[in-house]
Amino acid sequence: MGAQLREYRARIKSAQTTKKITRAMELIAASRIQKALGRVRSSAPYARAVTHAVSAVATYSNVDHVLTTEPEKITRAAIVVFASDRGLAGAFNANVLRASEELATLLHGQGKEVVYYLIGRRAVGYFSFRKRGFEKVWTGDTDEPQFATAQEIGETLVAKFIQGEDEGGVNEIHIVYNRFVSMLTQEPEVVRLLPLEIVEGVEDPGGTEVFPLYEFEPDANTVLDALLPVYIDSRIFNAMLQSAASKHAATQKAMKSASDNADTLIRDYTRLANNARQAEITQQISEIVGGADALSSAK
Amino acid sequence: MADLDAHELHVSVVSADAELWTGEARQVVARTLIGQIGLLAGHEPVLGILAEGEVRITTPDGEVIAVSAQNGFLSMQNNIVTVVAGAAELV
């Protein structure tokens, strides 16, 4: 009997310790979400300016660029997976990995070869556990993405895109990341990065006004040459920031439910422990009473 | 384009992770790949790639704000000037 009670107490203790840890992680994640969201917000003017400029070139000139032209035949596609470095974030990594698997199946179905670029140790773990190859990996700053990393990724991808197909280049690049919808919802988002499709941000010149003439310095081609890589970097940076914010939100949610579960466990085990203690007392009393009875009837 | 009488430009300087400066200005001088360009209110829409060097923004009070915008670009439309660079810095 005493053994059982001791076991319950040990379990309560361990649940309490776990709860302390998960509660701390929840609070840390909560404070980091705000910071991450702040970074998403403050990077918005840049993304807007870049998108606007690219749209302006696309709208007010008729330049064909290698990054915007649809190749006739796509044989190889790249998928860039934005996961995180750490787990303990609920379905965060599973979601983004599942979305990329679905995309890969789709691309395979279209007869395309798929190569992977991974961001975050979790994605690397997933791929190496399944003994699957990947092209390149970036880890270490998924919690607080740096623009320099985005530029590095962008450079690598553009170089790969421009490279000839026979030398291992790709014709298509997709990115898969978790988009921050709200504190409670983060949705995996699949976007085709290259060839570019620019849809947003074009300012309507207005019905009556004259179509504005744009002056490009030095010329539309050079401007586009310089702008498109910047646009890609900004898209990648945005995906990294969104992913970071989503990761913190997912961690907070996961850790909150872990703390709640620990609470439930503690309550259940406390009840069981009380039961066991009471049973022990009852038994002791009945032993004493039984003993006294035996003594008095023996006289 | 609508506001040709305005004598002021609305300028914002934007880097990858923040809007560094925003405000009214009388004049913006920058160096693009083919040379210096000076922008006053009412200038036609421009999109230029910046060369090395500073962008100088003159505010209505005559104060000059210098920005280093490596590998950036500058766009102007409707008297709104945006100086954009991944690593822009106020000097």
Q: Quick check: A46 pLDDT over 70?
A: yes
CB contacts of B32 in chain A (<8 Å) are 217-218
Alpha carbons A299 and A293: distance in angstroms, whole number:
10
CA distance A210 to chain B (A): 9
pLDDT at B6: 63
Q: Say whether A217 and B16 touch across the interface (CB within 8 A).
A: no
- Using alpha carbons, list the distances in angstroms from residue A198 to A22, A56, A58, A68, B24: 43, 10, 8, 9, 30
Q: Of residues A293 and B6, which shows the higher confidence score? A: A293
CB contacts of B44 in chain A (<8 Å) are 212-215
CA distance A75 to chain B (A): 33
Neighbouring C-alpha atoms within 13 Å toward the C-beta of B58: 12
Q: Quick check: B4 pLDDT over 60?
A: no
- B87 interfaces chain A, CB cutoff of 8 Å: yes
Q: Quick check: A292 pLDDT over 50?
A: yes
Task: Count each helix (H run) and each strand (E run) in chain B, helices first.
Answer: 0, 10
Q: How many Å from the N-terminal Cα to the C-terminal Cα in chain A?
A: 32
Selecting from B12, B33, B86 the residue whose C-beta is nearest the C-beta of A147 gives B86
Please tell me whether the peptide bond between B60 and the residue prior to it is cis, using omega within 30 degrees of 0: no
Say if residues A116 and A134 touch (Cβ distance below 8 Å).
yes
What are A24's two structure tokens? 């701390």
- Using alpha carbons, list the distances in angstroms from residue B5 to A267, B29, B47: 73, 20, 22
Count of CB pairs separated by less than 8 Å, A with B: 96
pLDDT tens for residues B37-79? 999 988 888 888 988 888 999 998 888 989 888 888 898 888 8
Say if residues A172 and A192 touch (Cβ distance below 8 Å).
yes
CB contacts of A203 in chain B (<8 Å) are 77
Predicted structure pTM score: 0.85
Selecting from B16, B34, B48 the residue whose C-beta is nearest the C-beta of A46 gives B16
- B16 interfaces chain A, CB cutoff of 8 Å: yes
Q: What is the average pLDDT across A139-155?
A: 90
- A155 interfaces chain B, CB cutoff of 8 Å: no
Q: What is the average pLDDT across A287-294?
A: 93
Tell me what ipTM this predicted complex has: 0.84
Alpha carbons B79 and B1: distance in angstroms, whole number:
7
Q: Quick check: A57 pLDDT over 90?
A: no
pLDDT at A207: 43
- B15 interfaces chain A, CB cutoff of 8 Å: yes
Alpha carbons A159 and A173: distance in angstroms, whole number:
12
Out of A193-197, A213-217, A221-225, B23-27, the most confident range is B23-27
- B80 interfaces chain A, CB cutoff of 8 Å: no
CA distance A54 to chain B (A): 10
Selecting from B12, B45, B87 the residue whose C-beta is nearest the C-beta of A45 gives B12
So where are chain A's domains?
A: 26-202+213-253
Which of B21, B34, B44, B49 would you mutate first to test chain A, the one with the most A CBs within 10 A? B49
So where are chain B's domains?
A: 1-8+27-71
Q: Kindly state the greatest CA–CA separation across chain B.
A: 34
The topology (CATH level 3) of A26-202+213-253 is Pyruvate Kinase; Chain: A, domain 1 (3.40.1380)
Say if residues A43 and A237 touch (Cβ distance below 8 Å).
yes
CB contacts of B34 in chain A (<8 Å) are 217-218
pLDDT at B18: 85
Q: Running DSSP on this structure, what letter comes out for residue B47?
A: E
CA distance B30 to chain A (A): 12
Alpha carbons A179 and A197: distance in angstroms, whole number:
19
Q: Quick check: A133 pLDDT over 50?
A: yes
Selecting from A147, A209, A223 the residue whose C-beta is nearest the C-beta of B16 gives A147
A189-218 residues touching B, CB cutoff 8 A:
203, 209-210, 212-218
pLDDT at A270: 95
What lies within 8 Å, CB to CB, of B91 at 6+ separation is B54, B66, B67, B68
Could you tell me whether strands A136-138 and A172-180 are parallel, antiparallel, or unpaired per DSSP bridges?
unpaired
Q: What is the average pLDDT across A257-280?
A: 95
Selecting from A53, A150, A213 the residue whose C-beta is nearest the C-beta of B73 gives A53
CA distance B6 to chain A (A): 18
